[in-house]
Amino acid sequence: MDEETDPPGQPAEHGVVCARCGTAAEGDTAPVTWLCAVEDGRRLLFCEGCARLHIRAIESRLDSLWW
Ligand SMILES: [Zn+2]
């Protein structure tokens, strides 16, 4: 289907919060500097700081979750 388009219209229950440190983003959508990852079928968001720490782990273990 579509490649990597985020499906619009997903209501945020309580704003955007970093899944790692709990930092809340300003506004209802994650800033472009935030990282979106999918783990165990769940969509997780990481703030800019956590994304830098986390992205290496994500990139180094693109396991069966993505296939
Ligand atoms: Zn964070």
- pLDDT tens for 7-50 read 555 544 568 899 989 999 888 888 989 988 888 898 889 999 99
User: How far, in Å, from the CA of 18 to the mean position of ligand 1?
Assistant: 5
Quote the domain boundaries for residue 58.
Answer: 35-66
Residues 6+ apart with CB under 8 A from 15: 24, 25, 27, 28
Interval between CA 43 and ligand 1 midpoint (Å): 14
Q: Would you state the pLDDT for residue 9?
A: 55
Domain assignment of residue 48, yes or no: yes
Assigned domain for 54 exists: yes
Is the residue at 4 inside a domain?
no
Among 23, 30, 37, smallest CA distance to 65 is for 37
Asked if residue 40 belongs to a domain, the reply is yes
CA 44 to ligand 1 centroid distance, Å: 11
Total count of domains within the chain? 1
What pLDDT does residue 21 have? 94
52 inside domain: yes
Q: State the pLDDT at residue 18.
A: 93
The answer to whether residue 44 is domain-embedded is: yes
Q: What is the pLDDT of residue 38?
A: 84
**Residue 42: inside a domain, yes or no?**
yes
C-alpha of residue 1 to centroid of ligand 1, in Å: 31
pLDDT for 12 equals 45
Q: What is residue 31's three-state secondary structure?
A: coil
